[in-house]
Amino acid sequence: MKKLSIVILSVAIFMIALPMHLPAAQFDAPYYAFEKRNKAQWMAEDKQIDQKLATLEKKFDKKPNIIYILADDVGWGEMGWQGGGKHRGTPTPELDKIAFEGMRFWSAYAEPSCTPTRIAINTGRHPVRTGLLSVLWPGQIEGLSPKEVTVAEVLSAAGYNTAMWGKWHLGDLPEHAPENQGYDYAYYGMWNGAPDNWPGSFGMYKDQPNSNKAMFYDFPGEEEYKKRTGIDLSEAAFIGRKGKGRKPVEGVAGKLGPDRQEAFEAESIKQIKAYIKEKAKDDKPFFIYWATYTQQLQGSRAHHNDKHVDKVNAQASGMAAHNAHVRQILDTLKAEGIAENTLVVWISDNGPMYAFYPNSGYSWLRGSKGDVLEGGVRVPAMAWWPGMIEPNQDPVDILHVTDLFTTAARLSGALDEIPADRVTDGIDQTPLFLLGEGHGRRNYMFHYGGSVLGAIRYEDFKIHLKEGHGGLPGMDFYNVMRDPGEKFGQLYPGLFAVSPVQIILREHMKLIQKFPHRVSDVTPQGAELTPHD
């Protein structure tokens, strides 16, 4: 009986010592090894963070607002604070101010392309787990499964107002749409920026000879395309409201063409500012997800002649427009007196797409959009939160786009809303944001291209996985702190990493056996257009 009492007392003491926000969520196996190593430190940090957040909540009488800005095709090195900006013809002075007023991340990562990163930021999961492996195109019936739980659904359960603007790109059908994936309001474009150029390419040759080359020169025109394929391109954007369905966006912003993106972005920033002003007075906090078109192909007429803008690269003017829009958001937060209660995170969705160079983004790193090389997945990112995030920080801690899902859940007090019947890849990075460099909680990453695991990052090391030979492991070993351009990959200098990497990989795969990947309901395995995206 005495032993039983001691056991009960020990359990009680252990439970008291646990941080109050301990989630029931299932994370990937390597996370738990890192957590075990740092348990005492993390528990002390969590108490400090809980106190900071409690003090803030008492001051504003509600949880913090959260704004996630997902940029498009902006490579690592494109921003002025990374050596780009006006020096590359893409001025980003206002975005650079944010970077120095808050935290600028040098080791931030996304998925290799646009739809995958949108899955990751919305679900906190690698796309391979969700059954949606490929970048989506008009007319496809694939989309984000309604069985996935989005950050908007998690925050809605925590009492947040939720809204999104921009490039949704997670499915055409109503069941995939943002208003049916947790967002109270959504003003969204269906696809990426390429289809906006399809009708114009047809028009270049329609009425007269043209010695110039269109980007999509064999597109047959919208009417003929619909006749041949059944795919209707007449509705390119929608306004959706939870429980009320959606309606097409009218005017230029809703119809494919060279001016749609600029009109859409202008209307988006107008609505976002109005939304912030309205919700600043609400009893409930708000969550905004703005998947801006930023560096898609068209650019901005209004900013084409801005100082330092490279006129040959249309996307440079698009960046100039976005630069101005983001400053308007921050100015609105300050004017409404809620900047201190609002976290703003800006991150790119992948590296640059060079297919239309010189009309493209750029990266100082090897690789580009679609690659698991650093140039495809390592991206610029910043976090801004006056009074909460100390200014002028440049941590090297690893941040992955999935982490924004779990961090939002922590800040909203909704970690218990993360489902435990699946693996969540995102890690709570609130300690990194609020305590600074050295407090990140991620020391590994898995880099998937479609269904294929292409690389593993562990601490400063990155291992490219490839076919082995003669019993030797198939891997190239890089130190991406010393060699961020991945120029000096070798097997033999990294032989000491073979076993640790194998352990990480084995535990990762064991969890996949326990929590199998979702299988597409509509596309048979092997029928994906880009299964190795």
* The pLDDT value given to residue 530: 60
Q: What is the mean pLDDT of residues 1-13?
A: 36
Tell me the two tokens of residue 454.
């292409």
Question: What is the DSSP code (8-state) at residue 45?
Answer: H
Residue 468 lies in a domain: yes
If pLDDT is split at 50, 70 and 90, which confidence band does 296 have?
confident
Residue 222 lies in a domain: no
Is 6 a residue whose pLDDT tops 60?
no
Q: What is the mean pLDDT of residues 423-427?
A: 98
**CATH number for position 478:** 3.30.1120
Greatest extent of the chain over all pairs of C-alpha atoms, in Å: 96
Residue 394 lies in a domain: no
If pLDDT is split at 50, 70 and 90, which confidence band does 23 have?
low
- How open is the CA angle 225-267-175, to the nearest 5 degrees? 55
How far apart (Å, rounded) are the C-alpha atoms in residues 106 and 432?
Answer: 13
Is 22 a residue whose pLDDT tops 70?
no
Give me the chain's average pLDDT, please: 92
Percent above pLDDT 90 for the chain: 81
Residue 23 lies in a domain: no
Q: What is the mean pLDDT of residues 297-318?
A: 92
| Least confident segment among 15-24, 325-334, 372-381 | 15-24
Is 332 a residue whose pLDDT tops 80?
yes
- Beta carbons within 10 angstroms of residue 234's beta carbon: 11
Axis-axis angle for helices 260-279, 314-335 (nearest 10) = 10
Residue-range definition of the domain harbouring residue 483: 449-514
| pLDDT per position as a tens digit, 151-164 | 999 999 999 999 99
Percent above pLDDT 70 for the chain: 95
Residue 19 lies in a domain: no
If pLDDT is split at 50, 70 and 90, which confidence band does 19 have?
very low
| pLDDT per position as a tens digit, 448-501 | 998 999 999 999 999 999 888 787 788 899 999 999 999 999 998 888 888 988
| pLDDT per position as a tens digit, 356-375 | 999 999 999 999 999 999 99
What's the domain count of the chain? 1
Ordered DSSP codes for 125-188 = S-GGGTT--S---TT---B--TTS--HHHHHHHTT-EEEEEEE--SBSSGGGSGGGTT-SEEEE
Q: Which residue has the tokens 């190795």?
A: 532
Q: What is the mean pLDDT of residues 183-211?
A: 91
How far apart (Å, rounded) are the C-alpha atoms in residues 448 and 144?
Answer: 18
Residue 152 lies in a domain: no
* The pLDDT value given to residue 529: 64
With H, G, I as helix, E, B as strand and everything else as coil, classify residue 15. helix
* The pLDDT value given to residue 21: 46
The β-bridge partners of 458 are 444, 461
Residue 491 lies in a domain: yes
If pLDDT is split at 50, 70 and 90, which confidence band does 210 have?
confident
Is 2 a residue whose pLDDT tops 60?
no
Nearest to 436 by CA among 390, 403, 385, 381: 390
* The pLDDT value given to residue 473: 82
Is 182 a residue whose pLDDT tops 90?
yes
Residue 477 lies in a domain: yes
* The pLDDT value given to residue 297: 80
- C-alpha distances (whole Å) from 229 to each of 140, 188, 204, 214, 443 are 11, 24, 22, 22, 47
How far apart (Å, rounded) are the C-alpha atoms in residues 192 and 138?
Answer: 9
| pLDDT per position as a tens digit, 108-148 | 999 999 999 999 999 999 999 999 988 899 999 999 999 99
- Beta carbons within 10 angstroms of residue 227's beta carbon: 10
Is 37 a residue whose pLDDT tops 90?
yes
Is 168 a residue whose pLDDT tops 70?
yes
Half-sphere exposure at residue 126, Cβ-oriented, CA atoms within 13 angstroms: 22
How far apart (Å, rounded) are the C-alpha atoms in residues 442 and 426?
Answer: 9
* The pLDDT value given to residue 389: 98
